[in-house]
């Protein structure tokens, strides 16, 4: 059969033998599983081999050393490409994200169990499953977008912590994406951001094989991708044949030397190269090749056609003598450099150690405010008024108080910082730009999905990211938010404009189903504080979390600050729900449950009921997830807050009623939304949709009567 021109001797060189082992492991694993994508691992093995063996700083014996180069396989369906080289390099296992143990991350037996229950070799690369996988990929485009966050973090770390003679952070980030990645919008968002930020520590390799699941890309995709990236401000290079190792290395060296621009390498490949009847055919993309085709391919590669999962001993030696030795020397030199750095710059070194361990500095929370209640002076009019603030405003104060003492807490907004109040305004905070990579205020642009993916990449590099936007636009970034939840990353989402309180902006900007959908996501904690002091406690809970993503849901409209001398302590937020105000004898006739701005509405309704001699308990429930955790730890806590004997309950939330029956009871009342909102002043909307103290009190009386 004819084959692409190649400079690799198919019979003798260690490089070709290693590449052949990668290819045959992938073919055998997919065929044994009778599931998976063999074509791309076969075609791109030379690229991944060259990256790890000849280009990247990477130590298989210490796969988490901080200055390693990162590799992200955005084309996650080609997972065997990554698993095979992790095995051949003998990457060691990392436990609890921070401890390397003398155990292979992937054994040959693991590869034999590819895509089987419990195997570390899952269908798509999973961050928590095995060492060497830098991020979970699968949904196309998210991997390359995540790599942008890693590159951002690399630039920030270098600007913050590098000193003359101490180049602690200079790692590069490489990612492979295919046609599918280049079609997805998140990749375009992220590429635009990377070009703007001039991330010259970033290199994407575009596997241009002209095949997708449905067939030839001409069916739906015929643009000049390279020209698009030139327009983004990238350096665009080309490799006409991925089997041409000298050309490949030359181009990757050019990428390394390029300044002030990320690099985009268009790499032409032939899917399932060397597999008779499969090359350039879409059937090789999404299904096993068949044992007959695999035997023919092994014959073509010059290896035993009958042997399955066979790795010649000299292949392991090739990697040990290449990436193994170079990586060990590089990580050892870095550790020695850091020891000297620690002696000269102990404060900065402590920052780095705490950041890498996801710990917090001593006294990080010392400036978190306790907000006043009762009568205060209105700064605008000079007259007396009840203390209160929109939770986006109180959160802004707490965020700034915390960020001053946690230097690696960095983030921003999808072009909405003036509205989400997430700007860090203290001296030295600065703005992260190409010319000022030390800045801590990120400007993600109107790119919600790329913002989420970049935040994941930043968290994977151990800085602590936050990103903000309107709650309604959480839809735009949901794919990245979900991946962060799968990976248990401590990313912080700050979503404001959380309800009908958006008012005149109307249904397109009023979130209805969003709280319910976010609460449905496993691993994600949703916090909707009811007043300024609950906001303070929310941040006290958020910051120590090492493996929990969170959505902090905040209002635009002002919230009354509750008098904590007569109300329950705001510390109750840590348990997800607590008794804010109780019946005089602790025996309520009805329980009113609310979140966020609706807790104040419940308090007002409680007064209406009290005037009629009806005793009500108000429960603030800022987090369903934390409440369930608290009840799991202490089975009596649910009964303390929501006594089963009190069947009369009313839950109030300016959002979908979905899910509230669990707390209101199957016959309890839920005052919520069963339609989209409307465009009108807030007072009119509240009356129209029934969010009034009179309506809550009336429903409470109906519950008692029932």
Q: How far is CA 496 from the centre of its chain?
A: 19
Q: How far is CA 617 from the centre of its chain?
A: 38
Spatial separation of the C-alpha atoms in residues 338 and 550, rounded to whole Å: 33
CA distances from 412 to 196, 367, 466 (A): 16, 21, 6
Secondary element (H or E) of residue 517:
helix 514-519
pLDDT at 59 (0 to 100): 98
Domains 14-334 and 574-705 share a fold: yes
Cβ atoms of residues 640 and 630 within 8 Å = no
Residue 465 near residue 436 (C-beta atoms within 8 A):
no
E strand or H helix at 475, and its extent? Answer: none
Query: Residues 6 or more apart from 499 whose CB is under 8 A from it?
Result: 510, 511, 555, 596, 597, 654, 655
Q: Which residues contact 313 (CB under 8 A, 6 or more apart)?
A: none
- How confident is the model at residue 217, as a pLDDT? 72
- What tokens does 671 get? 């005052």
C-alpha 305/C-alpha 296 separation (Å) is 7
CA 235/CA 53 separation, integer angstroms: 24
The residue among 148, 617, 560 whose CA lies nearest residue 386 is 560
Task: Show the 3-state SS of 607-635.
Answer: HHHHHCCCCEEEEECCCHHHHHHHHHHCC
Are the C-beta atoms of residues 408 and 355 closer than 8 Å to each other? yes
The pair of structure tokens assigned to 293 is 């085709």
- Is-contact 31 112, C-beta < 8 A? no
What gap in Å lies between CA 670 and CA 446, rounded to an integer?
35
Distances (CA, A) of 666 to 447, 530, 648, 659, 663: 41, 25, 11, 10, 8
Q: What is the pLDDT of residue 281?
A: 47
Q: Are 483 and 490 in contact (CB under 8 A)?
A: no
| Active-site annotation, residues | 448
Cα 103–104–106 angle (5° rounding)?
145
Judge whether 7 and 245 are in contact, CB under 8 Å. yes
Cβ distance 585 to 615 under 8 Å?
yes
DSSP 384: E
Lay out the sheet containing 649-656: strands in order across: 578-581, 616-620, 590-594, 649-656, 669-673
CATH T-level fold of 375-559: Rossmann fold (3.40.50)
What sections of 198-275 are H helices per DSSP? 225-232, 245-257
Q: How far is CA 93 from CA 249, 271, 490, 654, in A?
A: 29, 31, 22, 47
Which residues on adjacent β-strands are paired with residue 132? none
What residues does each domain of the chain span?
14-334, 375-559, 574-705
| Structure tokens that stand for 161 in this block | 């912590």
On whether the CB atoms of residues 204 and 70 are closer than 8 A, the answer is: no
> Up-side HSE of residue 548: CA atoms within 13 Å toward CB?
15
**Rounded CA gap, 249 and 265, in Å?**
12
Using a 10 angstrom Cβ sphere, with 0-12 exposed, 13-18 middle and 19 or more buried, the burial of residue 356 is middle
Q: Which of 502, 679, 501, 533 is nearest to 601 (CA)?
A: 501
Contacts 24+ apart (CB under 8 A), 693-698: 693/601, 693/604, 693/605, 693/607, 693/608, 694/605, 694/608, 695/671, 696/592, 696/601, 696/602, 696/604, 696/605, 696/608, 696/650, 696/652, 696/671, 697/605, 697/608, 697/609, 697/612
- The fold adopted by the segment(s) 14-334 is Rossmann fold (3.40.50)
Q: In what order do the strands lie in the sheet with 235-239?
A: 70-73, 173-178, 202-208, 263-268, 235-239
> What single DSSP character describes residue 198?
T
CB burial of 613-623 (b: ≥16 within 10 Å; e: otherwise) equals ebbbbbbbbbb
Query: pLDDT, tens digit, for every residue of 311-354?
Result: 999 999 999 999 999 999 999 999 999 999 999 999 999 999 99
Helix ranges restricted to H, 212-244: 225-232
Q: Which residues of the chain have pLDDT under 70?
A: 1-11, 211, 213-214, 271-274, 276-286
Burial class (CB in 10 A: 0-12, 13-18, 19+), 270: buried
As a whole number of angstroms, the distance between CA 465 and CA 447 comes to: 16
**CATH architecture of the domain with residue range 574-705:** 3-Layer(aba) Sandwich (3.40)
Distance between CA atoms of 2 and 4, rounded to whole angstroms?
7
Pairing of strands 492-496, 384-386: unpaired
Dihedrals phi, psi of 100, to nearest 5 degrees: -90, 130
Structure tokens at 111: 């590869």
Q: Residue 118: which region, alpha, beta or left (left: phi > 0; alpha: psi -120 to 50)?
A: left
């Amino acid at each position: 059969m004819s084959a692409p021109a190649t400079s690799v001797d198919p019979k003798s060189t260690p490089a070709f033998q290693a590449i052949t082992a990668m290819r045959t492991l992938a073919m055998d694993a997919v065929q044994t599983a009778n599931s998976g994508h063999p074509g791309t691992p076969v075609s791109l093995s030379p690229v991944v081999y060259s990256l790890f063996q000849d280009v990247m700083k990477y130590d298989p014996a210490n796969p988490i050393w901080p200055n390693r180069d990162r590799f992200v396989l955005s084309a996650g369906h080609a997972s065997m490409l990554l698993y095979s080289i992790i095995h051949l390099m003998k990457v060691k296992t990392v436990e609890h994200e921070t401890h390397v143990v003398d155990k292979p991350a992937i054994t040959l037996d693991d590869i034999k169990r590819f895509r089987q229950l419990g195997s570390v070799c899952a269908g798509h690369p999973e961050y928590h499953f095995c060492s060497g996988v830098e991020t979970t990929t699968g949904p196309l485009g998210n991997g390359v977008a995540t790599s942008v966050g890693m590159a951002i973090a690399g630039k920030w770390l270098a600007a913050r912590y590098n000193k003359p003679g101490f180049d602690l952070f200079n790692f590069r980030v490489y990612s492979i994406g295919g046609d599918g990645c280049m079609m997805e919008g998140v990749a375009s968002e992220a590429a635009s951001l990377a070009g703007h930020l001039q991330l010259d520590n970033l290199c994407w390799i575009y596997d241009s094989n002209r095949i997708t699941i449905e067939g030839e890309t001409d069916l739906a995709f015929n643009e000049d991708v390279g020209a698009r990236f030139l327009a983004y401000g990238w350096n665009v290079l080309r490799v006409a044949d991925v089997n041409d190792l000298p050309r490949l290395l030359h181009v990757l060296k050019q990428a390394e030397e390029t300044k002030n621009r990320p690099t985009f390498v268009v790499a032409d490949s032939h899917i399932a190269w060397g597999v008779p009847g499969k090359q350039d055919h879409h059937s090789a993309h999404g299904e096993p090749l068949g044992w007959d085709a695999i035997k023919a391919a092994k014959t073509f590669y010059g290896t035993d056609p009958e042997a399955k999962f066979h790795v010649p001993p000299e292949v392991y030696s090739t990697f040990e003598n290449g990436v193994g030795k170079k990586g060990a020397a590089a990580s050892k030199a870095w550790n020695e450099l850091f020891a000297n750095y620690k002696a000269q710059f102990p404060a900065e070194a402590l920052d780095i150690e705490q950041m890498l361990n996801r710990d917090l500095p001593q006294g990080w929370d010392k400036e978190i405010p306790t907000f006043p209640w009762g009568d205060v002076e209105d700064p605008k009019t000079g007259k007396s008024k009840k203390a209160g603030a929109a939770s986006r405003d109180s959160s802004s104060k707490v965020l700034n108080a915390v960020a001053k003492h946690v230097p690696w807490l960095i983030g921003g907004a999808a072009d909405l910082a003036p509205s989400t109040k997430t700007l860090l305004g203290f001296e030295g905070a600065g703005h992260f730009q190409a010319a000022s990579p030390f800045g801590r205020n990120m400007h993600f642009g109107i790119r919600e999905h790329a913002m989420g993916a970049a935040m994941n990449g930043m968290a994977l590099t151990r800085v602590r990211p936050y990103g903000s936007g309107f709650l309604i636009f959480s839809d735009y970034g949901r794919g990245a938010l979900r991946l962060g939840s799968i990976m248990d990353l401590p990313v912080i989402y700050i979503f404001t404009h959380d309800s009908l309180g958006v008012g005149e902006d109307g249904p397109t900007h009023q979130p209805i189903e969003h709280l319910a959908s976010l609460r449905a996501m496993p691993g994600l904690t949703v916090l909707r504080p009811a007043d300024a002091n609950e906001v303070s406690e929310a941040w006290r809970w958020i910051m120590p979390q090492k493996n929990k993503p969170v959505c902090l849901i905040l209002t635009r409209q002002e919230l009354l600050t509750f008098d904590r001398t007569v109300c329950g302590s705001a510390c109750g937020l840590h348990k997800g729900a607590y008794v804010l105000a109780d019946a005089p004898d602790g025996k309520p006739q009805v329980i009113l449950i609310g979140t966020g701005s609706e807790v104040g509405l419940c308090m007002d309704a409680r007064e209406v009921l009290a005037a009629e001699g009806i005793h009500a308990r108000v429960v603030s429930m800022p987090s369903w997830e934390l409440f369930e955790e608290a009840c799991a730890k202490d089975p009596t806590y649910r009964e303390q807050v929501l006594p089963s004997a009190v069947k009369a309950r009313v839950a109030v939330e300016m959002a979908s009623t979905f899910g509230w029956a669990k707390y209101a009871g199957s016959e309890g009342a839920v005052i919520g939304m069963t339609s989209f909102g409307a465009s009108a002043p807030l007072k009119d909307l509240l009356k129209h949709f029934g969010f009034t103290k009179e309506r809550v009190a009336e429903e409470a009386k109906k519950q008692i009567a029932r």
